[in-house]
Structure 1
């Protein structure tokens, strides 16, 4: 196994336009997903609407009876036959590689909100498809991303049919070309099987238990949530990229008041976990 902090440290030392995005995904969104799953545990079957912020679960249920003219079956979606070229391209890529970039997965997941008969059905299909084909199925970043399609880590927007105040991203047409990149991916990685399948398939079809090991960001995040601070404040933490550890800058009201982290060189990053999940 490779330490995630080693990967982050090496990424930070690497030039390239994608470095900032990678570190944002790793330091912020991976950490907050682990924190969420640790402090808001779920059943072995996976996450549920009950783990959404109250405004999100309420608005989705208020619109549960809205007409849904474009229902899709689980089988059609699994086989990338939705009829949407962008979504089908992402699904074929996911089936073959076991991976979707978070930006792509948001559009992939949000589409199911309107293609399923109810919010509960949408989440069930998201869990089924993701845990079948994605290598990070059953992992906190997966659950954070899937619930993010239903309002977690986001705030209420204008009211719309079906999705209510949950803001949806839609599949981009450019993603229709994602499957064309698979051959190059396999050519660059000779040891990579041409069809990797999902985490559940890799594990012989057995459901993996949810991961509950939390990042140290969890303490500050959970404290802010419990105290009702998250709608108007930031949780501040510092990440020491020179060691394989994550250190909280401060906890409690000091961080809530916006106290700045200590300056310890360019490798220290301040991560602002911008609230999202207002209760």
Structure 2
């Protein structure tokens, strides 16, 4: 297998929103207006249904000034950026999270950051997991800047392998749906987790770009990587795909340390949706991290 250094091109600095709030110091919130009285983010019946962690998040965020964005640092090493970046989480994002609406990229980025910190805190240090930023492989970038996407994928995979990572986790958002790719260069395989359980599997715009990068990294495989489709939990509504991807990521980083472990997870036949406790655990993890690391 050939692993060489790729010529480094500057990665466009990510923006979880169209524009980040101006003139902000790292670790602070942006303030577009003065502090207002506490305004509930959700209806009372929703609030009563939330866990303690989500209630605490709600109470903290509802006290923030109108127009405030929570900032979560995204280290350049995590997502293979040229410089550290920020994910901006608005009150609207938190409301969508608490009410079970469709979640945006900043929620996923923040969750990936929280898991990496959790892995790094374990006694044996960081687990052998690499990460790819979903914003850098977005539909817009694939359509209008495919060469930049290819460069980013190649850089991220090469840097992860040099760091000793056994596989990379790459969430994707396309056609208003989140799914997960797990990239294993050692066995030239990409495992695909899709809670929609569509057959035949959906073809993402990034697929061809990723295939070309994998061919370049593994010159012995003329046909490119093998795609395998996980028999994962199937969502029972049209909005929980992001929470399912977060659950898939959580389970993989806690169960898998080698490529063959991904193979075993992929073969597990899972029928039906996640149970409530599995979803609530993920929601509480995200709420806890944002409350104590972002606010």
Indicate the TM-score class for this superposition, using the shorter chain for normalisation.
Answer: under 0.3
TM-score, normalising length: structure 1: 0.25
When the two structures are superposed, what TM-score results if normalisation uses the length of structure 2?
Answer: 0.24
Question: Which structure has the higher relative contact order (CA within 8 Å, separation 6+)?
Answer: 1
